[in-house]
Structure 1
Amino acid sequence: MTPQRFSRTKLALLISLAFASVSSHAATDDKPADEAAPVATVVVSAKSGDYLGNHTASAVAPTQASLSATEPQSIITRDFIELSVTPTTEYSRIVNVAPSVSGDSANGPGLSETKTTLRGFSDDQYNITFDGIPWGDTNNPAHHSTSFFPGSTIGGAIVERGPGNADNLGYATFGGSINLFSKKPLKDEKFSVFGSAGTWRTALAGASYESGRLAGFGNGTVQLNYQHLKSDGYLTLNAIKSDNYLMKVRRPVGDATVLTLFMSANRIKYVQPDNNKGPTLAQVALYGRNYSLNNDPTSFNYAGYNHTAKDTDFSYLRAETNWGTGWTTDNQLYTYAYDNETISSTDPTGATAPGTKIGPAGNKDIPGIDKRNKYRVYGDIFRLNKRLDAGTFRTGLWYEYSDTDRHQYDLDLTLGGIRDPRETKPAPVQNPSVLFDQQSNIRNVQPFAQFEWSVTPDLTVTPGLKLVRIRRSVDADVNQTTRLPQHSSVDYRSTLPFLTANQQLSSTMAVYAQYAKGFQIPDLKSFYIADPSKNSSAPQKSVNYQLGVVGQSEAVTWDVDVYKIDFTNKYVSNGLGGTDAAYINVGGATYKGIEAQATWMVGHGFALYANGSKNKATTNDTGKTISGSPNMTAAIGLLYNDGPWSGSLIGKRTGEVRQADFDASKPAAYDTYKTAAYTNTDLSFAYRFTKPGMGISLLKLQLNVFNLFNHQDVTSISPAKNAAFDQYTFQAPRSFQVSVKADF
């Protein structure tokens, strides 16, 4: 057993034993696990949706905002996920329906990692949380959409377009947050099996178990879920296979505490190049839009040279306690890990000729890399709340520590992956095949506090403050880029105030306003220089100004908001070399726009849905559009639910995108790297059989068709030094999945 696997197993065992030890002293009573300790949290949830009988706009809305919202948000329920989103999905496909969100998978729905944008902010500029715990990479706070939580494990999502309150946590409150939630336990026992089959030999199978409230377990609940997915994918030879295991146990302890233990593990294997940015136009002309890999061992694109295995796990132990007289606490002790082991050729575009130094003179061997990105994160989030006559005071502390091991070695793939001792940088190193071998860590402490002041029964004003204290350290014998030893650390400090207000105009309408500061931790690449102590220690910051109105009735849910975000302290290289190289803060950008979403219950089971956003993100120095920032998004849909039938038809349009930040002296290049707006339209039908026999209580058959109108427009361009080797990604063509789910 490897040390990494031993540590994971040991940690899981210790958490389980701790949970069992506390539970063994619990007083068994008749309070259910979800009611025993009514701890006030800052999570906004939608009204419980129910496609089986609740014919209200709030129940069927794909996205909506709460009347108590203090910033723009889109709440997405489990009901919508099960009906309208592919069973092979992960979170990016779920949240893509929301206004100002965009992103697409080139390999097919849920079959490759997708980097979403939020109001034009890139994936590393906003947070993603799971049950309130922020997670992401440790070199920069980016995310891997297929690596942790498949769609079958997600109970709902809330897209918060803004820094949020003081206890909205993460390393990039800069652009907002995508908050994912596990499934809520059911009151009654249920066992389910589910499966899907579809285009590109895609197959999914799984099973889940809900214990319901267990009288012999203090009315606690147990949830189990397993899912297996495999597919050849749309891109040539880009196969994927994954397995996910999940357990969630929730139990009252005594009269005032509820403990929750959550554990999940995911194993995924890809066949794909490390540079997975799509084919060149020349490759498209020869092989088609889906060209990626082939079966030729003399090619950089040989499938046998390009593969990745990722192991992840995510666990937490949560204790929610009601101490009486208005005092409550909520503590989450957590850990998660990510291990990416990749073997890949170095250039799938054809720009580089074959040849390695390890082979004989004049050889045409294929050069490659052995890449690792492996980290373990430990953390604790403590929240203390006090309910007063004037409102609710909330305070707490987020602590987190991470250890990261990253390396990249040169290989001769033709010779079976033998180390290739070539010198790619002038600096002398002991082993010239080592591009970098780096260890790093982050130590983070963030105290926060806020007061939800009930000025009147209808007006709530909430001021708050969060202090950011982060130390990032690197301990590398061979550092990335410089290939020199690096043993240093940098401290980052920031103070983030916010002020929000929510005014209830009536039982069906409310308005809100927000002023809030956000930040983003500097990327690890700021250490890829000779002397990181010369870097600026100020993180990138944002100041958000937002105003919105929300309306809800049985027939209609709707909301509209406007926003302006000033982005300052843009972190860039000073362009110098040697010991003078440094990362400094310059200029910034302005993001502004308007967003709206609405659902209308027409009647007879039909509902209409629409959302839209007009977004503008420009640099302050040149006025050019920020790279990768769509200028608009829009969605329109028809929903149906009546008796055993349900269905949805939803089209999502992503606006024009500039693909690079070019200055005013290069107008031609600026116009060249532009992708036009594109649309995906998804169709779903489902039919439910009640008690069809064989012990089945409910049987659901479902058909999903993705990209119904078979568009294959360009979604992204990655510029190269030579335009002939620019890489293009396209929409995956029309695909379908047939699914069945049986509840026992």
Structure 2
Amino acid sequence: MHKKFRTKPLISGLFHASMLTALPGTPWAYDLGSVSSGAGNSNEAIPPAESASANAPTQGSLTASEPQSVINRNYIENTQTGASTYVDNAAIAPGVWAYSPNGPGGNENPSLTLRSFVDGQYNVTFDGIPFVDGANFTHHVNSYFLAQDTGEVTVDRGPGRASTVGDATYGGTIAVRSNDPLGDPTATVRSQIGSFNSRLVGFQYDTGVMQNYGDASGFIDYNHYQTDGALTNDNERRGNLFAKFIKPLSENTAITVVVMQNHTYQNDSPGATAPQIAQYGSHYGLNQNPLSSAYVGYNNDNFTSNFDYIGLQTRFGDWKIDDKVYTTIYAHDAMNGYNPNGTTATIQGAYPGGILMGGANPGSRNIAGLTGMTTYTSYGNILRATRAIGDDDLDFGLWIERQLRQSWINNVDLSTGGTGSIVNLPGISNGGNQAETSSMNTIQPYVEYVWRPNSKWSITPGLKFNDFTRTYNSAYDTTVGGAFAYSHSWAAALPSLDAHYYVTDHWSAYGQAAEGFVAPLLFGSFYNQNQPIQPNTSAGLAYLAPEKTMNYQLGTVFKSSKLTASA
């Protein structure tokens, strides 16, 4: 029997809560919705003009306090392939440049530049949770979320308010929001076919609002994607499982559970030289020659990843609480040719086109390559609280995360299946083998006060404190030539101030000053101050200061049912 979708006030708000959590620059950033009229402020209602035409591919926001572009579900669903990622979605926004050399979702090497900041210099969040590879703050895009599980992507061009947490906020934030469950029970079979023998099949089941189970709702989605790739022999296979469930505990409290599991296998080319393109064509990636380090059988990657969280949202009296505990797990098992595109000639017997002959004997047909493994696991919690004080809000919160990382690389003979070491290559000691462990701890408390002198103005000063600690330990570090370890902490106080003004219901303006931060990279945290660093000692070691930026920005947004414009 078909049941009518019955929406409680809390559910109506919760379907938008994760979206609002992902928008670091909005005055209503952590609103649970119209849970009750007794909490929050009368000035806090989102203006009706916020619902602009769904056909606009990228839109500003009337509530923004710094330049934003919102890419909505309508655009994602109607223009992106099922294998697309947030890189492909965000590419439509002004100031964003992105490319996927092997086709959308076709390999693990897409690139996105946000107003000249490259990956590792900007923040990415999913439902308000930052996720990052702590070695260099980059994001393994293909190891996480598919387009059909994405509800919205917001490109935020600036460090945001104090409440914008993350390890690399100074270039901006790309906030990805998960898709919402449907209101009615629905089964969806998905099939897509595209160029380069690309094909995707998937199945999604939405429970609808289950009145017999306390109005719980959710969906589970599985997709399998594979492609021969736009580049020769750059194949990929990917399986992705995503599930989201929301369970009201009362009229004012609900719990959200999100689970994501992904496995990707790919043959991946680092690119081609001009002579290779001239000889083999612009689509050249890998070849079928076992005597070349660009042989498809020598260049493969296995990625497995998880992204899971449990979120609790509640509202009582003048308080709103949003807490998420989460974990991310990432593993990359790799085999790669040492010099697949033939640009490096440091190895004995390197030839153009990537054909390498090395090893102890100059005449041997050893194919130099690398095998390696990188894994990291992050555990964290992000707590946000809002206390209504008259027409104003006091916002404060705490983000804490610990990431444990392991990595090893071996220099091997690929012609033996990666089982034999090549230890006598010029310029490579210890066979080029390296293994290390590292960790990073991040603690970011923040506080903001949203002052509303009247219904048109909101002025928000804020302060965030960033405490970041790295540890590193290697039994043999190739840059040092022996055992090496270090541990260091960096800290910074990051202020922000913005003012927001409603000119009319359809027109707003803002001004902002905010400071951003990114800590030094794992392999770039120190430099030689007086002398070369020696194994087992920190003599001559000096630590780099964190990179910081101060942003000053002015803007205005106009939105109506037929037009959205920003400057």
TM over 0.5: yes
CA distance in 1, matches of 2:392, 2:169: 25
Provide the residue aligned with 1:453 in structure 2: 451
- Describe the shift of the 1:443–1:43 C-alpha distance in structure 2 as closer, same or farther (beyond 3 A): closer
- Say if 2:309 is the partner of 1:308: no
One-letter code of the match for 1:551?
F
One-letter code of the match for 2:11?
D
The structural deviation recorded for 1:424 is 5.9
CA distance in 1, matches of 2:218, 2:303: 27
Structure 2 stretches lacking a partner, 5+ long: 1-5, 29-48, 351-355, 528-532
Q: Helix, strand or coil: the match of 1:34?
A: helix
- Describe the shift of the 1:222–1:463 C-alpha distance in structure 2 as closer, same or farther (beyond 3 A): same
The structural deviation recorded for 1:97 is 0.0
One-letter code of the match for 1:492?
W
Q: Helix, strand or coil: the match of 1:86?
A: coil
Provide the residue aligned with 1:213 in structure 2: 209
Provide the residue aligned with 2:566 in structure 1: 559
Provide the residue aligned with 1:337 in structure 2: 329
CA distance in 2, matches of 1:263, 1:57: 31
One-letter code of the match for 1:548?
G
The structural deviation recorded for 1:519 is 0.6
Provide the residue aligned with 1:111 in structure 2: 106
- Say if 2:76 is the partner of 1:81: yes
- Describe the shift of the 1:480–1:468 C-alpha distance in structure 2 as closer, same or farther (beyond 3 A): farther
The range that moved more, 194-203 or 36-45, is 36-45
The structural deviation recorded for 1:174 is 0.8
- Say if 2:412 is the partner of 1:411: yes
Q: Deviations over 1:315-369 (max 9, x none)?
A: 0000011122x111111000001111110110012244123325x5521211000
8 Å Cα contact 1:490-1:533 kept in structure 2: no
Provide the residue aligned with 1:397 in structure 2: 398
CA distance in 2, matches of 1:226, 1:422: 44
- Describe the shift of the 1:239–1:418 C-alpha distance in structure 2 as closer, same or farther (beyond 3 A): same
One-letter code of the match for 1:538?
A
Provide the residue aligned with 1:297 in structure 2: 290
One-letter code of the match for 2:113?
T
CA distance in 2, matches of 1:99, 1:407: 39
Instruction: After TM superposition, list the pairs within 5 Å mapping 1:181-330 onto structure 2.
Output: 181-273=177-269, 276=270, 278-324=271-317, 326-330=318-322
The structural deviation recorded for 1:148 is 0.5
CA distance in 2, matches of 1:121, 1:248: 32
Q: Helix, strand or coil: the match of 1:350?
A: coil
- Describe the shift of the 1:455–1:532 C-alpha distance in structure 2 as closer, same or farther (beyond 3 A): farther
Q: Deviations over 1:622-678 (max 9, x none)?
A: xxxxxxxxxxxxxxxxxxxxxxxxxxxxxxxxxxxxxxxxxxxxxxxxxxxxxxxxx
One-letter code of the match for 2:341?
T
CA distance in 2, matches of 1:424, 1:451: 61
CA distance in 1, matches of 2:186, 2:162: 38
Q: Deviations over 1:240-294 (max 9, x none)?
A: 0000001111101133211011100000011124xx1x21111111100111111
One-letter code of the match for 1:239?
N
CA distance in 2, matches of 1:498, 1:36: 28
CA distance in 1, matches of 2:503, 2:152: 28
Provide the residue aligned with 1:129 in structure 2: 125
Say which of 352, 355, 358 aligns to 2:357. Answer: 355
The structural deviation recorded for 1:217 is 1.6
One-letter code of the match for 1:294?
N
Provide the residue aligned with 2:338 in structure 1: 346
8 Å Cα contact 2:526-2:542 kept in structure 1: no
The range that moved more, 371-380 or 85-94, is 85-94
Structure 1 stretches lacking a partner, 5+ long: 1-28, 47-53, 561-744
The structural deviation recorded for 1:58 is 2.6
CA distance in 2, matches of 1:551, 1:243: 41
Instruction: After TM superposition, list the pairs within 5 Å mapping 1:278-677 onto structure 2.
Output: 278-324=271-317, 326-351=318-343, 352=345, 353=350, 354-357=356-359, 360=361, 362-422=363-423, 432-527=430-525, 530=533, 531=538, 534-560=541-567
CA distance in 2, matches of 1:427, 1:210: 55
8 Å Cα contact 2:10-2:251 kept in structure 1: no
Q: Helix, strand or coil: the match of 1:216?
A: helix
Provide the residue aligned with 2:11 in structure 1: 34
Provide the residue aligned with 1:162 in structure 2: 158
Q: Percent identity?
A: 32
Q: Helix, strand or coil: the match of 1:92?
A: helix
One-letter code of the match for 2:495?
P
Q: Deviations over 1:461-511 (max 9, x none)?
A: 000000000110002111252232122201001110000111100111111
CA distance in 2, matches of 1:220, 1:480: 54
CA distance in 2, matches of 1:339, 1:543: 35
One-letter code of the match for 2:357?
G
One-letter code of the match for 1:114?
P
8 Å Cα contact 1:453-1:461 kept in structure 2: yes
One-letter code of the match for 1:200?
F
CA distance in 2, matches of 1:412, 1:74: 49
- Describe the shift of the 1:252–1:480 C-alpha distance in structure 2 as closer, same or farther (beyond 3 A): farther
The structural deviation recorded for 1:42 is 4.9
CA distance in 2, matches of 1:43, 1:419: 48
- Describe the shift of the 1:108–1:427 C-alpha distance in structure 2 as closer, same or farther (beyond 3 A): closer
The structural deviation recorded for 1:34 is 2.0
Q: Helix, strand or coil: the match of 1:152?
A: helix
One-letter code of the match for 1:235?
L
CA distance in 2, matches of 1:490, 1:136: 19
TM-score, L = length of structure 2: 0.87
Provide the residue aligned with 2:138 in structure 1: 142
The structural deviation recorded for 1:537 is 4.8
The range that moved more, 468-477 or 414-423, is 414-423
CA distance in 1, matches of 2:188, 2:415: 47
One-letter code of the match for 1:401?
R
- Describe the shift of the 1:300–1:553 C-alpha distance in structure 2 as closer, same or farther (beyond 3 A): same
The structural deviation recorded for 1:43 is 4.5
TM-score, L = length of structure 1: 0.67
- Describe the shift of the 1:39–1:425 C-alpha distance in structure 2 as closer, same or farther (beyond 3 A): same
8 Å Cα contact 2:21-2:128 kept in structure 1: no
8 Å Cα contact 2:410-2:432 kept in structure 1: yes
The structural deviation recorded for 1:31 is 3.8
Provide the residue aligned with 2:38 in structure 1: none
- Describe the shift of the 1:246–1:172 C-alpha distance in structure 2 as closer, same or farther (beyond 3 A): same
8 Å Cα contact 2:525-2:544 kept in structure 1: no
The structural deviation recorded for 1:36 is 7.8
8 Å Cα contact 1:549-1:559 kept in structure 2: yes
The structural deviation recorded for 1:536 is 3.3
- Determine which structure has the larger strand proportion and give its number: 1
- Describe the shift of the 1:449–1:244 C-alpha distance in structure 2 as closer, same or farther (beyond 3 A): same
Provide the residue aligned with 1:61 in structure 2: 56
CA distance in 2, matches of 1:270, 1:263: 23
- Describe the shift of the 1:319–1:421 C-alpha distance in structure 2 as closer, same or farther (beyond 3 A): same
CA distance in 2, matches of 1:73, 1:30: 30
CA distance in 1, matches of 2:562, 2:131: 37
- Describe the shift of the 1:528–1:341 C-alpha distance in structure 2 as closer, same or farther (beyond 3 A): farther
CA distance in 2, matches of 1:87, 1:30: 29
CA distance in 2, matches of 1:467, 1:436: 35
Provide the residue aligned with 2:42 in structure 1: none
Q: Deviations over 1:280-314 (max 9, x none)?
A: 11111110011111111111111111100000100
The structural deviation recorded for 1:533 is 7.9
CA distance in 2, matches of 1:473, 1:135: 19
Q: Helix, strand or coil: the match of 2:77?
A: helix
The structural deviation recorded for 1:426 is 7.3
Q: Helix, strand or coil: the match of 2:543?
A: coil
